[in-house]
């Protein structure tokens, strides 16, 4: 009989932690999981899921105008946040209950409490109880970073935006990453006036440069006031309850709300990890080896808290690999190569593999790129352009990267990711017969490189 209370104690009830806990329990291991907020973590409760539901809602904004241009008699409508919000919260509660039920089904003990690490095999809960475990898995995710400047507390983060009683008529979004750009497009689509300040020279740092410029241009065309090279310096409340933002280069902005979308930090503060010998990076991320093991052999970590690839499906894969390694005797490294992702701007951006810039640093490449007005937009004289781009190795002719900016790009890129993961060449793409008339056919019709080097 084990001398520990549990074979595994998971700290964090997000996607990675819940999957690892559930699958470990299904092997017959005695498992516990502690979550201080709500089961489902960032993705389900305050990230991917509520954001995507708001994306769906925001896409109806321009539809009446487009419908009229197609011949429909249709009036403009207005978005009722107070009608949408209860449905949103009800859906999140439904999903949370599914997570909780699935976790409990194989016998996992669930503790609704904050957990900290006391030593290599001991966890202490905020209710004062302590438990021992042969293995501890840290899956606490991340949290929104708020800059240290006067009045910063007047702003909100992506955690709070889904809880607002009213959507602001005017909002300043500070940041230029995917969260900032997504919410800029969402709120603009819901009929709100959006200003975006980003300190860098272009939005979406880390993504393909050509795509970054294309999406920025689209955002401006939609009416979003995008200002790059601007760093916020202070926020102050005015007598009428609004917020006045001051930025560099004498930028000023008067809004009803400020959203900080300035990045995320690993959620390791006050957890006792360093005290027990777990090495953390400068950013506070838990440092792990290829199997998710920390510098303390009995403690592992998965998901955003390790600051590797901050995506829900990656956290789930890491959780599964952990169980294979520790509880099934099958050492498994999670695969972090060629991970597809999507940015839910209007239109969406789907990407898998290398950017043009990263590929060029590695080898000689051919770049195939096409930007065009889709049939649906061209017919009603909308200027919005789709963009399709392939990065191809000159030596092997393998497709190293695929980038799509178009309605439904998130759906398209999933299928492209399968082909590219299998090692598809440009000839393989060329050999596929186009589905006509579609936007996606462009990915198999680009025959001449736009540039080569």
Q: Report, as residue numbers or ranges, the catalytic residues.
A: 436
C-alpha 260 chain-centroid distance: 15
For residue 85, whether the previous peptide bond is cis, meaning omega lies within 30 degrees of 0, is no
For the sheet with 341-343, list strands across it.
341-343, 348-353, 399-406, 386-393, 365-372, 451-452
The helix (H) or strand (E) run that includes residue 371 is: strand 365-372
* Residue 398 β-bridge partners: 425
Q: Are 50 and 88 in contact (CB under 8 A)?
A: yes
Q: Is 343 exposed, middle or buried (0-12, 13-18, 19+ CB in 10 A)?
A: buried
First-residue to last-residue Cα distance in the chain: 64
Copy the structure tokens of residue 384: 């919005």
Helices and strands, counts by H and E, the chain: 12, 22
The helix (H) or strand (E) run that includes residue 388 is: strand 386-393
d(CA 314, CA 206): 18
Copy the structure tokens of residue 411: 């759906």
Copy the structure tokens of residue 307: 């600051």
Phi and psi dihedrals of 235, rounded to 5?
-125, 145
Q: Are 33 and 110 in contact (CB under 8 A)?
A: yes
Helix, strand or coil, per DSSP, at residue 354:
coil
Phi and psi dihedrals of 426, rounded to 5?
-60, -35
Closest by CA to 248, choosing from 182, 168, 170, 174, is: 174
Q: Are 321 and 334 in contact (CB under 8 A)?
A: yes
d(CA 372, CA 394): 26
C-alpha 68 chain-centroid distance: 34
Inter-CA distances, 197 with 148, 162, 218, 224, 228, Å: 16, 21, 16, 11, 6
């Amino acid at each position: 009989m084990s001398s520990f209370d549990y074979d595994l104690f998971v700290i964090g009830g997000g996607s990675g932690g819940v999957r690892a806990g559930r699958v470990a329990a299904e092997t017959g291991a005695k498992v516990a999981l502690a979550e201080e907020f709500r089961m489902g973590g960032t993705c389900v409760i305050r990230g991917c899921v509520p954001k995507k539901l708001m994306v769906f809602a925001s896409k109806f904004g321009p539809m009446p105008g487009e419908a009229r241009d197609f011949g429909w008699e249709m009036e403009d409508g207005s978005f009722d946040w107070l009608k949408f919000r209860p449905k949103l919260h009800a859906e999140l509660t439904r999903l949370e209950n599914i997570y909780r039920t699935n976790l409990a089904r194989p016998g996992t003990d669930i503790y609704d409490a904050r957990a900290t690490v006391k030593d290599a095999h001991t966890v202490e809960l905020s209710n004062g109880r302590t438990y021992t475990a042969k293995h501890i898995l840290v899956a606490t995710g991340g949290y929104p970073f708020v800059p240290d400047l006067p009045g910063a507390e007047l702003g909100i983060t992506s955690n709070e935006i889904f809880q607002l009683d009213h959507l602001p008529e005017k909002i300043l979004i500070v940041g230029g990453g995917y969260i900032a750009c997504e919410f800029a497009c969402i709120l603009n689509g819901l009929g709100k006036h959006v200003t975006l300040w980003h300190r860098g020279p272009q939005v979406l740092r880390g993504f393909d440069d050509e795509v970054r410029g294309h999406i920025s241009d689209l955002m401006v065309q939609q009416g979003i006031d995008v200002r790059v090279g601007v760093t916020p310096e202070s926020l102050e409340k005015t007598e009428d309850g609004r917020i006045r933002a001051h930025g560099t280069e004498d930028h000023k902005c008067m809004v009803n709300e400020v959203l900080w979308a300035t990045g995320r930090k690993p959620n390791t503060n006050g957890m006792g990890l360093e005290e027990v010998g777990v090495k953390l990076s400068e950013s506070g991320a838990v440092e792990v080896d290829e199997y998710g093991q920390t510098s303390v052999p009995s403690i592992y970590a998965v998901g955003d808290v390790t600051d590797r690839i901050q995506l829900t499906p990656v956290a789930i894969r890491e959780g599964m690999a952990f169980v294979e390694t520790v509880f099934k005797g099958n050492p498994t490294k999670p695969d972090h190569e060629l991970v597809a992702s999507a940015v839910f701007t209007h239109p969406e951006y789907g990407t898998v593999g290398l950017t043009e810039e990263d590929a060029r640093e590695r080898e000689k490449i051919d770049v195939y790129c096409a930007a065009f007005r889709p049939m649906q937009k061209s017919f009603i004289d909308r200027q919005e352009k789709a963009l399709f781009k392939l990065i191809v190795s000159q030596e092997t002719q393998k497709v190293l990267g695929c980038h799509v900016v178009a309605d439904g790009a998130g759906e398209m890129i999933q299928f492209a990711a399968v082909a590219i993961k299998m090692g598809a060449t440009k000839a393989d793409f060329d050999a596929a017969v186009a589905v006509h008339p579609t936007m996606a056919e462009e990915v198999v019709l680009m025959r001449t490189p736009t540039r080569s080097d």
